[in-house]
Amino acid sequence: MKPTQDELNDLASIIIGAAIEVHKLTGPGLLESVYEACLMEELRMRGLKAEQQVKLPIFYKGKKLEKYYIVDILVEDEIILELKCIQEIFPIHEAQVVTYLKLGNKRLGYLMNFNVTQMLRGVKRKVNNF
């Protein structure tokens, strides 16, 4: 059974809190892979099921191709997290998350840029049929 919007929003609050904690302890300027490892640990410490580097299949005209997209982190099989450590977020980065949501048939995703002075400035929420 799919979680309600309220349940997804509750999960999102935990996820954002975890990202803030990671950023508070590590600061900006590290590699994306370091933030991914730290965030995975923080999410697990908070009791969430999280998987990293999850493959999403690509279908073209109903046929599954031998290519796939890779999602940085999938939380509770519901929320996609795309992590970045870049100077600036561009529309193409936001479009990437929306595409992952559509391909994975998920309703909620976050683009998280850890290369900021305050983590909340680096968080962008994206939805798909929410």
pLDDT tens figures, 35-63: 999 999 999 999 999 999 999 888 889 89
CB atoms within 10 A of CB 60: 8
- What is this structure's pTM? 0.93
* Mean pLDDT value of segment 120-128: 96
CB atoms within 10 A of CB 117: 9
**Predicted local distance difference test score (pLDDT) of residue 129:** 84
Residue-wise pLDDT tens digits, 101-114: 998 889 999 999 99
**Cα 125 vs. chain centroid, distance in angstroms?**
9
**Predicted local distance difference test score (pLDDT) of residue 101:** 94
| Domain coordinates in residue numbering, the chain | 5-127
**Predicted local distance difference test score (pLDDT) of residue 7:** 95
* Mean pLDDT value of segment 108-121: 97
Domain 5-127 matching CATH 3.30.70: the answer reads: no
**Predicted local distance difference test score (pLDDT) of residue 58:** 87
